[in-house]
Amino acid sequence: MKAESAKGSGELNMVWQPLDIGATQVRNRTMMTAMGVFYGEDHILSDRHIAYYRARAKGGVGLMITEQQAGHRLSKGSFFAGCTAWEKRAIPQYEKLADAVHAEGARQFVQLFGCGVHDKGTMILDEWHPLWGISDIPSVVHREIPRVMGKTELADIAKGFGEAANNVKHAGLDGVELHAAHSYLFGQVLSPAYNTRTDEYGGSTAKRCRLIVDVAEEIRARVGDDFTLGIRLSYDEYLGEAGITPEQADEQVEILTATGCFDFFNITRGSYHTLHMAIPPMGSPHGGYQEFGQRARKITGNRAKIFLVGRVTGLHEAETVLESGAADMVAMTRAQFADPELVNKTREGRTDEIIHCVAANECVARIFDNRPATCLVNPATGRETRWGPGTLESVTPKEKKKIVIVGGGLGGMKTAAVASARGHEVVLLERSIELGGHINLLKRLPSRSEWQLAIDDLTGAMNRGGVTIKLGFEADTNSILAETPDCAVIAAGARWRLDGVSPFRPGVSGIDGLDQEHVIDISSATERALDDPASLGQSVVILDEIGTFLPLGLADLLSQQEGINVEIITPDPMVGMEAQKTLDSYHLLPRLVAAGVKLTTQQNLRAVEGRDVVSGFSWGGPERRVQDIDTIIVAMLREPVDALYHALEGMINERHLLGDALAPRKPVQVMYEAEELGRAI
């Protein structure tokens, strides 16, 4: 399915059907799989969590599964704010969650997980511990060598999960899911990549399933049959024979179904080594991992229900998945992280109001940084009490202002949308003939077309608020004052610096040679490459000190042309440090390398001498010289475009600087600020 089908059309039928999953009846076939948001306080669910889940229940979703919760005492330390289900003190917040979600007609399961080796044994000050591994292979990320579990530890794990499931049941929630995917504890147990045991817990698929069978039997012994239990499985780890293959996953489903313990199988894919397959970034196909759902369904028959996930972004896509027979429940996880009302907006024919997830994976990048997850396109996510549905306050006729906003990038558009929805009169002036600002450039790069959805959504919101949009309009103080505004917002963005000043070169006030004609900034270079790639010549060097998608995307575009040699030089330890956190690098870097792009790391720029780029190892040492470059592209610092704001001093009662024009930052920060300002004016 293509991204465009996210908007969809046609009849929805299957998606509205209720379903029995074990002891649980859900009102429709839509769901959210577990998503670690890390709003926990003192390692239990917070009121912020509850407001977040309540908003989605109110928005119409049938079933939600909480973020991963530790099923055992050693498992909450993989993320700093990770929560426990194992401790009794988790119960009161679970009770609150059950009340909140049930009051809105949805159902809520808890995902129980163990970290295994994907943990940090020193995360929590008073709970340092050696990691428990199924074998002695450490995490490729954390690299702590674990203690290999013996019979006592394995039995302790089963006991812990039984206790945790019992806590969830006791609190009145609807069921639990064992997280056996994405290389967490039970994923490690199932995968030959981690489980190299030769006793009764390793050596064959059946033996690798044994701990999970022990755990499931313990849970059933504690909670009985009238409580829903399921499991999440990765159908392919994309490690070849080294990891779980679809054939092994088939066997797992057969073995686990035969236990009679499981009411559902929640099918996903990917591992810690291949997280980009688990949480597909922008440009990935839509429509769920249907092949895997179908395989699992063939095995379970009517013995268990199948849940399926994978870049399903709207109910029409979900309907198609249900029609294909690949699933009983369809997850739209990030899609509902972005818009809690996705289901109800669709049901009520308000699809134009949907805020679409564009798979920019800012939510993922944030949790990799050990920060609570937020959404780039919707600043209200995670801030439901403050900004969630129903919190926008209209202005009285007396409070109504005329606001002129200069700049039609994300920040300007979002402020215009929010302020106009409150009843202000808003005029937006944009220099270019298109809305979108910096995003307009990104969206034209390979794999980035979904950015257009973000522009369309904000344009729609501005239109609903009656914003007057003037494109191709170069604003100055006169034209702003001619609108007789009560308030001006300058959101004119930022420009690239070409002086070579950089935090990588303390004390250096500039780099010689950057003022030559064949040295250009990354945005200008991308514009030129999009129009005529050959205009950049045959040899191109990108000096990348930002690590985001843009330099990689430009290299991707250029490398698809015949006869252009591209080298990316960065002082960072790897190319695309930020793009790795959004999982874009995993797709992009192999493509770049295959296309012959040279990736040079830990090289700090020293000079540009004519057509030569001179750099040196970041920590000192001899120089490196790349010769005869046709175009040298600079992606370093940016500076605010704020002259208009200063020029308006004393001319207008109220003026604001917004977004990159205030300080050049990430779009997610700009959107936050825009929401805040749109509500404050």
Ligand X SMILES: Cc1cc2nc3c(=O)[nH]c(=O)nc-3n(C[C@H](O)[C@H](O)[C@H](O)COP(=O)(O)O)c2cc1C
Quick one: tokens of 435?
């809305």
Nearer to ligand X, 68 or 415 (CB): 68
Nearer to ligand X, 67 or 251 (CB): 67
- Partner whose footprint covers residue 232, from ligand SF4, ligand X, none (CB < 5 to 8 Å by kind): ligand X
- Partner whose footprint covers residue 387, from ligand SF4, ligand X, none (CB < 5 to 8 Å by kind): none
- Give the separation between CA 395 and CA 681, rounded to whole angstroms: 9
Nearer to ligand SF4, 382 or 437 (CB): 382
- Partner whose footprint covers residue 367, from ligand X, ligand SF4, none (CB < 5 to 8 Å by kind): ligand X
Q: Strands, E, within 355-493: which ranges?
A: 402-406, 425-429, 468-470, 487-490
- Partner whose footprint covers residue 179, from ligand X, ligand SF4, none (CB < 5 to 8 Å by kind): ligand X
- Least separation in angstroms between residue 426's CB and ligand X is 33
- Give the separation between CA 39 and CA 371, rounded to whole angstroms: 9
Nearer to ligand SF4, 265 or 549 (CB): 549
- Give the separation between CA 236 and CA 529, rounded to whole angstroms: 37
Nearer to ligand X, 55 or 592 (CB): 55
- Beta-bridge partner residues of 425: 402
- Give the separation between CA 235 and CA 613, rounded to whole angstroms: 47
The full length of the chain comes to: 681
Nearer to ligand X, 300 or 333 (CB): 333
- Least separation in angstroms between residue 32's CB and ligand SF4 is 11
Q: Can you tell me whether residue 675 is helix, strand or coil?
A: helix
Please give the C-alpha separations between residue 80 and each of 371, 492, 578, in angstroms, as whole numbers.
Answer: 8, 37, 20
Backbone angles phi and psi of 128, in degrees to 5: -65, 140
- Partner whose footprint covers residue 333, from ligand X, ligand SF4, none (CB < 5 to 8 Å by kind): ligand X
- Least separation in angstroms between residue 640's CB and ligand SF4 is 24
Nearer to ligand SF4, 377 or 569 (CB): 377
HEC sequence for 213-275: HHHHHHHHHHHCCCCEEEEEEECCCCCHHHCCCHHHHHHHHHHHHHCCCCCEEEEECCCHHHH
**Which residues, in sequence order, are CB contacts of 464 under 8 Å at separation 6+?**
353, 417, 420, 421
Q: Residue 2, exposed/middle/buried by CB under 10 A (0-12, 13-18, 19+)?
A: exposed
Quick one: tokens of 136?
């002695």
- Partner whose footprint covers residue 377, from ligand X, ligand SF4, none (CB < 5 to 8 Å by kind): ligand SF4
Q: Strands, E, within 594-675: which ranges?
A: 598-600, 603-609, 612-617, 623-626, 631-635, 638-640, 654-657
Nearer to ligand X, 335 or 445 (CB): 335
Q: What separation, in Å, do the N-terminal and C-terminal C-alpha atoms of the chain show?
A: 42
- Partner whose footprint covers residue 566, from ligand X, ligand SF4, none (CB < 5 to 8 Å by kind): none
- Give the separation between CA 390 and CA 251, rounded to whole angstroms: 48
Quick one: tokens of 15?
């998606």
Specify whether the CB–CB gap between 453 and 620 falls below 8 A.
no
- What are the residues binding ligand X (CB under 6 A)? 33-36, 67-68, 111, 179, 181-182, 232, 268, 278-279, 309-312, 331-335, 363-364, 367, 373
- Partner whose footprint covers residue 327, from ligand SF4, ligand X, none (CB < 5 to 8 Å by kind): none
Q: How many CB atoms lie within 10 A of CB 258?
A: 13
- Least separation in angstroms between residue 466's CB and ligand X is 34
- Partner whose footprint covers residue 362, from ligand SF4, ligand X, none (CB < 5 to 8 Å by kind): ligand SF4
Nearer to ligand X, 278 or 454 (CB): 278
The closest of 343, 312, 295, 306 to 328, measured between CA atoms, is 306
- Partner whose footprint covers residue 403, from ligand SF4, ligand X, none (CB < 5 to 8 Å by kind): none
Please give the DSSP secondary-structure letter assigned to residue 181. -
Nearer to ligand X, 35 or 605 (CB): 35
- Least separation in angstroms between residue 553's CB and ligand X is 21
Quick one: tokens of 183?
């290389």
- Least separation in angstroms between residue 359's CB and ligand SF4 is 5
Nearer to ligand X, 66 or 559 (CB): 66
- Least separation in angstroms between residue 223's CB and ligand SF4 is 32
- Least separation in angstroms between residue 507's CB and ligand SF4 is 37
Residue type, position 448, single letter:
R
Please give the DSSP secondary-structure letter assigned to residue 302. G
Nearer to ligand X, 331 or 358 (CB): 331
- Partner whose footprint covers residue 360, from ligand X, ligand SF4, none (CB < 5 to 8 Å by kind): ligand SF4
- What are the residues binding ligand SF4 (CB under 6 A)? 334, 337-338, 357-363, 375-377
- Least separation in angstroms between residue 366's CB and ligand X is 7
- Least separation in angstroms between residue 111's CB and ligand X is 6
- Least separation in angstroms between residue 357's CB and ligand SF4 is 3
- Least separation in angstroms between residue 180's CB and ligand SF4 is 24
Nearer to ligand X, 246 or 423 (CB): 246
Q: Residue 42, exposed/middle/buried by CB under 10 A (0-12, 13-18, 19+)?
A: exposed
- Give the separation between CA 365 and CA 362, rounded to whole angstroms: 5
C-alpha 599, offset from chain centre: 26
Specify whether the CB–CB gap between 131 and 188 falls below 8 A.
no
- Least separation in angstroms between residue 334's CB and ligand X is 3
- Partner whose footprint covers residue 376, from ligand X, ligand SF4, none (CB < 5 to 8 Å by kind): ligand SF4
Specify whether the CB–CB gap between 266 and 176 falls below 8 A.
no
Please give the C-alpha separations between residue 551 and each of 7, 139, 433, 525, in angstroms, as whole numbers.
Answer: 30, 30, 25, 10
C-alpha 319, offset from chain centre: 24
- Beta-bridge partner residues of 613: 608, 626
- Least separation in angstroms between residue 408's CB and ligand SF4 is 20
Nearer to ligand X, 268 or 615 (CB): 268
Specify whether the CB–CB gap between 376 and 638 falls below 8 A.
no
The closest of 592, 598, 625, 628 to 610, measured between CA atoms, is 628
- Partner whose footprint covers residue 332, from ligand X, ligand SF4, none (CB < 5 to 8 Å by kind): ligand X
- Least separation in angstroms between residue 276's CB and ligand X is 11
- Partner whose footprint covers residue 279, from ligand X, ligand SF4, none (CB < 5 to 8 Å by kind): ligand X
- Partner whose footprint covers residue 181, from ligand SF4, ligand X, none (CB < 5 to 8 Å by kind): ligand X
Nearer to ligand X, 34 or 520 (CB): 34
